[in-house]
Every structure is written in C-alpha cells, then in structure tokens.
Amino acid sequence: MVLKKLSLIVSFAIVGYVGVSCSSKEDQDSYDKYYGSGRAAREEAALNKGAEQRAEEVKVDPDTINSLSVTENMDGEVLASDATVNGIPETAGKTIEQVSEKKEEEAPKQKPVPADISALLNKHTCSACHRPYDRVVGPAYADVAKKNYSVEKIVELVYKPQPENWPGYPPMAPMTQVPKEDATKLAKWINSL
C-alpha cells in the first residue's frame, strides 16, 4: 500500500516537472508567435532608449540656473522685486540663503514635548491618535489649544468626547482609564501650545 502511494506521488512529480518545463517553452513560443521573435532585441532597445531620455533630462544650462535668483531690466541692472503673490512677497532678486532665512523665521515655533508629558501620552495611548503639531487620526494638540478650551473642558472631553466639536474626525473613545490628575496635567500642557 505504501509502495503504491509512493509510486503515485513520484509519477505526479515527474509529470508536473515535465509539464512545467514544456509549458515554459510553449509559453515562449506562443509569445513569439503573437509578438514576433526578437524579444531580447526589443528589451535591449527599450533600455537604451530610456537611458538616452534620462541623459537628455539631466542636461541643464548653467546660465539658466544662475539667472533664476535675480531679475534684470532692459539695461541689465539687477533689481529686487516688490511684487506679491497672494500676499506673499515674490522672491526674485534674492539669494537662496535669503529666502531660506525668511522661511525659517516664518515657521511657527514648535515647543518640544517635555519628558513627563511624553511619558503620560504614551502610557495612556494618546499618541496612537494624536501628535503635538500633526493630525494623525485625531486633531493635533496645537489645534485643540486653538479652540481655547479651559483645562476643565479638556478633561471633560477626555472622559466624554463630543464628536460634534471636531467634524471630519472619527469619534474618540472615552478614555475613562486616565486618572484625573494625569488628564489635568495633559490639559494644562495642551493649553500651553
């Protein structure tokens, strides 16, 4: 009985091996019949064409790059632009460093999260849905601070969330396991942002 089963398994393995090896050749023949022979030549030509296109894209005139940071009038004088687009001053006539410095000055100052607050956020799984300055699942803590809720109101919302206050966000689960002392400490930190 064991010998019959073993011989049956071996015969299936041999048939499967022969079938797969024949199948590959048959698939290649049908491909060549449909698309024509010369597959390797077509693939090589496509690779060469792609490389040529990438080489052409990289070529940039250095004079064009240098002219991007200034504007010139007809006399060849370099001028700074006073134009604004949507209330933002245009950057023509300024160097990259000058533009970068201004953007760094305009960026809102983000306070680092104190270690004790970070520990509480992780302990009570607040960090799973909220970040100090970025929207994740729930609103950023900085966005909560912009609502000017009192500390007591934030604590109340931890225990009994009101989804109507935050349309566009999924409803928050009540976090009744958070001790009131920890919730109060977190609420004070949120209002400091």
Asked if residue 124 belongs to a known ligand binding site, the reply is no
119 and 158: one domain? yes
| pLDDT band, residue 162 (cuts 50/70/90) | very high
Is 172 annotated to bind a ligand? Reply is yes
130 is in an annotated binding site: yes
Least confident of 63-77, 104-118, 135-149, 154-168: 63-77
150 and 168 housed in the same domain: yes
Parent domain of 88 = 78-107
Task: For residue range 19-57, list pLDDT tens digits in order.
Answer: 555 456 666 776 666 666 666 676 777 777 766 665 555
Rounded Cα–Cα distance for residues 67 and 188 (Å): 51
Residue 173 lies in a domain: yes
Q: What's the pLDDT score for residue 152?
A: 96
Rg (the chain; Cα; Å): 33
Give the contacts of 155 (CB within 8 A, at least 6 positions apart): 180, 183, 184, 187
Residue 181 lies in a domain: yes
Q: Is residue 79 classed as helix, strand or coil in its secondary structure?
A: strand
Which range (64-78, 109-123, 127-141) has the least confidence? Answer: 64-78
